[in-house]
């Protein structure tokens, strides 16, 4: 006669053996977006607004990125009231606008199947604007 303890040991051993078995899975390789650059996310004039375009645009992403960041900084010594980023869709219209009081604005893009989108939407982004309004002071630049 098998004791209760022996039955329990056999049962636990069976569970452990099943737990260590292989389970078939499938993996897919993500379709990468191109690294954000002047050619993949071109800078265009602002759409539907009047603003100064002396701002500095930066694009940040990694190799095979899942997200990317667009930064817009005001030109030196211009003291703007707002810095504005517009993400421009495939139809040439602004699909997202970020307007920040001060001298710097940022927004994020999302890579889906090799294309850049406004995060959480089905709106594809093709280009970007970077501008500022209400500038006071001088934009002297860096001349030798």
Tens-place pLDDT, residues 16-56 = 555 566 777 777 777 899 999 999 999 999 999 989 989 99
pTM score of the predicted model: 0.74
**Nearest CA to 86 among 122, 111, 50?**
50
Mean pLDDT of the chain, nearest integer:
85
Tens-place pLDDT, residues 52-84 = 989 999 999 998 999 999 999 999 999 999 999
**In the chain, domain spans:** 42-133
Q: Which residues, other chains included, contact 36 with Cβ-Cβ below 8 Å and sequence gap of 6+? A: 59, 60, 61, 65, 68, 70, 109, 116
Span 42-133: which CATH code?
A: 2.60.40
């Amino acid at each position: 006669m098998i004791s209760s303890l022996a039955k329990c040991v056999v049962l636990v051993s069976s569970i452990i053996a099943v737990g260590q078995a292989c389970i078939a899975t499938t993996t897919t390789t993500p379709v990468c977006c191109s690294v954000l650059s002047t050619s993949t996310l071109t800078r265009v004039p602002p759409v539907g607004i009047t603003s100064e375009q002396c701002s500095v645009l930066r694009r940040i992403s990694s190799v095979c990125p899942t997200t990317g960041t667009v930064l817009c900084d005001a030109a030196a010594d211009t003291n703007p009231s707002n810095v504005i980023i517009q993400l421009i869709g495939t139809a040439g219209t602004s699909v997202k606008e970020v307007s920040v009081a001060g001298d710097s604005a940022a927004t994020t893009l999302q890579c889906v199947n090799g294309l850049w989108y406004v995060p959480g939407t089905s709106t594809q982004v093709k280009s970007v604007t970077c501008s500022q309004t209400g500038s006071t002071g001088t934009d002297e630049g860096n001349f030798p």
